[in-house]
């Protein structure tokens, strides 16, 4: 059930239905749907269209044995619209001050468990995102535990490829989390926009691995790596990818990993074989999820898909990884890259790259092998694949051509 909250809703007269204004909407993105769902969000009077992407995964399919609503993953795309009409009901948090230092300015996203607002750090003018538990789950022990786990996990991290958490606390009896506000798109939105050129895909994978290497080094296992939890933005020179939503993360304490054995945690399309059985997840489980994301970036589809969720879980454990030539015959994926993807998707965790750093090193080697085995004409054709920004083509082309020259000089 989609809860659009109170923002933007006009009180209905007797006998009338309440209709959301048509010019502002939320797009709900999840792996279980193809089409976005329209709902209502806050207004802006800006003359320019503004796109703000903030992802909040409220619950994943298997975090609880009880099936949860399909609208858990919420991505906001804000579009300009008219100002509120007189008498319109507004969210009471908007305009309020939290912890005497954060002024709430607008609602960004809402889901089954939480709601995210844009706020300003008073005195500094810094824009941040603040995530609150929703009132109906404030006193639910499991929801509070997950929220607190996210705060503990994310607060350990400080890396360009991880969304930063600045602060946390209580507003009355409601927990909140203050995070970096990322202006951009989710990797899911980028995938939905069309094919991604190979060099761009590999660059995004490298950045995800860099964020995971940092998280793992600080004892944090994400356990829910997927395109919806990767935020991508550009500074005008290059793209930056950041890992978001550590709500399912677990923290290692010494040699012990805090886990709930026997409980399936994650998103079915991206769960490692061991996760599908409720077994212990470690860094190699995140490596598997990156392998799934990498496959999807290169092939424009997931490696394992089934009509029923439990069939998808079984495929992760039993089905062979499909060949790129079968699922993406129109794309030329270098053999060295395909071998690495298959390695990352090994059913046995011991056969995967042992760490994010090892995965990155293997990716560098695979890309070098791919360059050595690829003629210049094919390289140029690959770089002109749909979806590659102009600056990305220039950078990648110059890098690969330089490597070709160096390789020819040595051999």
Residues catalogued as catalytic: 224
Count Cβ atoms below 10 Å from residue 338 Cβ, excluding itself: 19
Q: Which residue has the tokens 């009077």?
A: 45
Under DSSP, the state recorded for 269 is G
Are 370 and 379 a contacting pair, CB within 8 Å? no
Contacts of 133 (CB under 8 A, 6+ apart): 113, 114, 143, 144, 147, 174, 175, 176
Strand order of the β-sheet with 26-27 is 26-27, 73-76, 55-57
Q: Which helix (H) or strand (E) covers residue 232, if one does? A: strand 230-234
Are 221 and 282 a contacting pair, CB within 8 Å? yes
Is the dihedral angle over the CA atoms 229, 193, 303, 241 positive or is it negative? Answer: negative
Radius of gyration of the chain (CA): 22
For residue 6 the two structure tokens come to 């109170």
Give φ, ψ of 400 to 5 degrees: -70, -40
First vs last C-alpha separation in the chain: 63
Measured distance CA(30)–CA(243) in Å, rounded: 17
Q: Which residues of 344-376 are buried (b: 16+ CB within 10 A; e: fewer)?
A: bbbbebeebbebbeebbebbeebbebbbeebee
Measured distance CA(44)–CA(84) in Å, rounded: 9
Contacts of 216 (CB under 8 A, 6+ apart): 283, 286, 355, 356
- For residue 126, what are the β-bridge partners? 121
For residue 393 the two structure tokens come to 């083509």
Under DSSP, the state recorded for 220 is E
């Amino acid at each position: 059930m989609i809860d659009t909250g109170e923002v933007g809703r006009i009180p209905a007269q007797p006998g009338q239905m309440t209709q959301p204004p048509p010019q502002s909407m939320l797009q709900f993105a999840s792996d279980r749907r193809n089409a976005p769902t329209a709902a209502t969000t806050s207004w802006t009077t800006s003359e320019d269209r503004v796109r703000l992407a903030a992802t909040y995964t409220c619950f994943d399919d298997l975090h609880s044995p009880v099936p949860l609503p399909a609208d858990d993953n919420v991505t906001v795309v804000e579009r300009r619209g008219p100002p509120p009409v007189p008498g319109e009901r507004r969210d009471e948090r908007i305009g309020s001050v939290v912890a005497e230092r954060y002024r709430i300015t607008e609602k960004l996203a809402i889901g089954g468990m939480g709601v995210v607002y844009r706020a300003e750090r008073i005195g500094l003018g810094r824009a941040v995102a603040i995530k609150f538990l929703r009132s109906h789950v404030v006193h639910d022990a499991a929801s509070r535990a997950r929220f607190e786990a996210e705060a503990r996990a994310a607060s350990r991290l400080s890396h360009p490829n991880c969304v930063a958490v600045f602060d946390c606390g209580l507003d009355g009896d409601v927990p909140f989390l203050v995070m970096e506000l990322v202006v951009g798109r989710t990797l899911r939105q980028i995938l939905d926009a069309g094919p991604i050129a190979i060099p761009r895909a590999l660059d995004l994978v490298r950045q995800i691995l860099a964020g995971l290497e940092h998280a793992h080094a600080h004892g944090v296992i994400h356990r829910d790596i997927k395109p919806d939890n990767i935020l991508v933005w550009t500074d005008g020179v290059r793209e930056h990818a950041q890992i978001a939503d550590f709500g399912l993360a677990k923290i290692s304490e010494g040699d012990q990993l805090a886990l709930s054995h026997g409980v399936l945690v994650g998103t079915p399309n991206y769960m490692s074989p061991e996760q599908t059985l409720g077994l212990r997840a470690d860094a190699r489980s995140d490596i598997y999820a990156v392998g799934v994301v990498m496959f999807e970036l290169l092939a424009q589809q997931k490696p394992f898909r089934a009509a029923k969720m439990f069939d998808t879980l079984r495929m992760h454990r039993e089905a062979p990884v499909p060949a790129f030539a079968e699922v993406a015959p129109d794309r030329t994926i270098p053999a060295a890259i395909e071998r690495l993807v298959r390695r990352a998707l090994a059913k046995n965790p011991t056969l995967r790259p042992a760490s994010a750093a090892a995965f990155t090193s293997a990716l560098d080697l695979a890309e070098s092998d791919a360059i050595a085995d690829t003629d210049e004409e094919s390289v140029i054709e690959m770089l002109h694949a749909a979806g590659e920004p102009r600056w990305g083509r220039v950078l990648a082309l110059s890098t690969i051509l330089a490597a070709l020259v160096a390789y020819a000089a040595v051999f």
